[in-house]
């Protein structure tokens, strides 16, 4: 048994038979345990070791928005753990005929271990939908309809993107030689220009909601009117104070980048815009949506100078800050005429962003284990010996 596995056996997780919907609903030891578990699984996979802890069961995915990295990461994690994968296509299901959330949740869960949901487009709706699914399967379990209650995992909602930010944190721990070495480091979470509108708020909110717990110096930058959900910002302020770090809001990308150790330039839609967009979508107001999009694109265009370029990167600590992005990035002269990041800067860090994304399947696998087993390390013990080779 490896030293890491021994250490994991001693760790306490607060996730067993619970849903994982927001990182800030779980304590620091659990967050560290999930990262340690993800690292172990990644190391095992790299060395050719298998870990199919489940002999049967389904992992159900519900993607209500487009996805590449998260969709395939969830599928990979389920497969590696020995689960079958089934994706709910709402168009092909009876949802189109008026089937309720309560009914759908139970009908897909008879032999399910986990339900992964991505619902990030409607402010005030995505996380609420995930909780509705959780309440429905809880009722089904208590009433004897379901033999077990599957866990619900947030694969991105309107508030947070836990699998992304935990993968981000794992990447940072690798880069700086451990989570403890992040204390005192400065991370710039900055809005960046995009030729599109309507990008969710969940990544910047997830980043400030997690990194503010680590004693880091968090700088949030965005143009006027591009604020996040106020409660998430207030939480980051409180957590920074409690962890011995700091949290500031600045008015320019340059101010946030100055002396930063890590930069995370990413476009998002203004909080108030997302509120309006949700109401228009609910009302089916197509003309209103067209008008809103036109107004937002015009506002975006006034902030085209919010691009992560070499000049801004030179403002960071020794000009060598780690660039991060959840991908896909809007790359100037590559994916669009002008975007979030210059081609030169992105190419310098392209492989690093792939490594950042490469932690996601192992984070998701760790979350599945942590929500299904009281002691995830014990579930992995049978695969620690020679019998664990792929």
Token pair for 55: 């002999």
Axis crossing angle, helix 202-211 with helix 230-243, rounded to the nearest 10? 20
- What pLDDT score was predicted for residue 96? 62
Residues 5/40, Cβ–Cβ less than 8 Å: yes
| Two tokens, residue 375 | 């002691």
Helices then strands, counting H and E runs in the chain, come out as: 15, 9
CA angle 75, 76, 80 (to 5 degrees): 120
C-beta neighbour count of 374 within 10 angstroms = 12
Decide if 217 contacts 236 (C-beta within 8 A).
no
Per-residue pLDDT for the chain (390 aa), expressed as one digit of tens each?
578 888 899 999 999 999 999 999 999 999 999 999 999 999 999 999 999 999 999 999 999 989 999 999 999 999 999 999 999 988 767 776 678 999 999 999 999 999 999 999 889 999 999 999 999 999 999 999 999 999 999 999 999 999 999 999 999 999 999 999 999 999 999 999 999 987 999 999 999 999 999 999 999 999 999 999 999 999 999 999 999 999 999 999 999 999 999 999 999 998 888 889 889 988 999 999 899 989 989 999 999 999 999 999 999 999 999 999 999 999 999 999 999 999 999 999 999 999 999 999 999 999 999 999 999 999 999 998 765 666
Q: What is the pLDDT of residue 6?
A: 87
Q: What's the order of all strands across the beta sheet hosting 151-157?
A: 84-87, 58-63, 112-119, 151-157
> Is 164-357 in the same CATH topology as 3-160+360-388?
yes
Taking the C-alpha atoms of 83, 92, 154 and 54 in order, what is their torsion angle to the nearest 10 degrees? Answer: -10
Q: Are 351 and 317 in contact (CB under 8 A)?
A: no
Q: What is the pLDDT of residue 91?
A: 74
How far does Cα 293 stand from its chain's mean position? 26
Q: Is the distance from CB of 269 to CB of 277 less than 8 angstroms?
A: yes
Contact 229, 271 (CB under 8 A): yes
Domain residue extents for the chain = 3-160+360-388, 164-357
Mutual angle of helices 360-372 and 162-176, in 10-degree steps: 120
The rounded radius of gyration (Å) of the Cα atoms in the chain is 21
Can you name the residues that pair with 60 across neighbouring β-strands? 86, 115
CA distances from 120 to 41, 63, 90, 100, 156 (A): 28, 9, 16, 20, 6
d(CA 299, CA 69): 29
* Tokens describing residue 74: 């969830």
The whole-angstrom separation of Cα 261 and Cα 276 is: 36
Question: pTM of the entire structure?
Answer: 0.96
Give me 150's structure tokens: 């599957």
- Domain range 3-160+360-388, CATH architecture: 3-Layer(aba) Sandwich (3.40)
Q: Please answer whether residues 77 and 113 qualify as being in contact, where contact means their C-beta atoms are separated by less than 8 angstroms.
A: no
Q: Find the angle CA(22)-CA(189)-CA(155) to the nearest 5 degrees.
A: 30
Tell whether domain 164-357 is in CATH 3.40.50.1370: yes
User: Which residues, including other chains, have CB under 8 Å from residue 337's CB and lie 6 or more apart?
Assistant: 195
């Amino acid at each position: 048994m490896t030293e890491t596995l021994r250490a994991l056996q001693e760790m306490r997780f607060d996730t067993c038979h619970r849903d994982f919907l927001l990182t800030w609903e779980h304590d620091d030891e659990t967050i560290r345990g999930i990262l340690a578990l993800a690292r172990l699984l990644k190391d095992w996979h790299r060395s050719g070791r298998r870990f199919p802890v489940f002999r049967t069961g389904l992992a159900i995915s519900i993607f209500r928005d487009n996805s590449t990295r998260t969709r395939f990461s969830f599928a990979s994690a389920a497969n590696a753990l020995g689960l079958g994968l089934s994706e709910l296509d709402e168009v092909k299901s009876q949802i189109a005929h008026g089937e309720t959330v309560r009914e759908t949740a139970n009908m897909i869960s008879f032999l399910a271990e986990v339900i992964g949901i991505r619902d990030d487009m409607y402010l005030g709706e995505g996380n609420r939908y995930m909780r509705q699914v959780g309440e429905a399967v809880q009722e089904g379990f208590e009433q004897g309809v379901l033999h077990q209650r599957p866990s619900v995992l947030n694969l991105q909602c309107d508030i947070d993107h836990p699998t992304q930010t935990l993968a981000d944190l794992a990447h940072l721990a690798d880069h700086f030689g451990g989570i403890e070495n992040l204390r005192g480091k400065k991370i710039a979470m900055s809005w960046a220009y995009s030729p599109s509108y309507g990008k969710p708020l969940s990544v910047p909110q997830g980043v400030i909601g997690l990194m503010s717990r680590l004693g880091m110096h968090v700088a949030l930058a965005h143009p006027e009117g591009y604020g996040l959900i106020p409660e998430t910002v207030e939480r980051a302020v409180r957590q920074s104070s409690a962890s011995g770090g700091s949290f500031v809001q600045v008015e320019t990308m340059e101010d946030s980048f100055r002396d930063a150790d890590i930069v995370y330039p990413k476009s998002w839609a203004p909080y108030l815009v997302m509120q309006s967009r949700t109401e228009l979508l609910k009302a089916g107001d197509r003309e209103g949506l067209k008008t809103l999009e036109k107004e937002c694109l015009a506002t975006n265009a006034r902030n085209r100078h919010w691009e992560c370029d070499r000049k801004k990167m030179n403002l960071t600590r020794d000009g060598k800050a780690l660039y991060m992005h959840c991908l896909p990035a809007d790359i100037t002269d590559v994916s669009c005429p002008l975007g979030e990041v210059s081609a030169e800067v992105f190419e310098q860090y392209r492989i690093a962003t792939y490594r950042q994304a490469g932690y996601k399947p192992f984070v998701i696998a760790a979350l599945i284990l942590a929500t299904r087993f009281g002691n995830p390390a014990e579930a992995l013990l049978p695969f620690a010996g020679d019998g664990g080779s792929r």
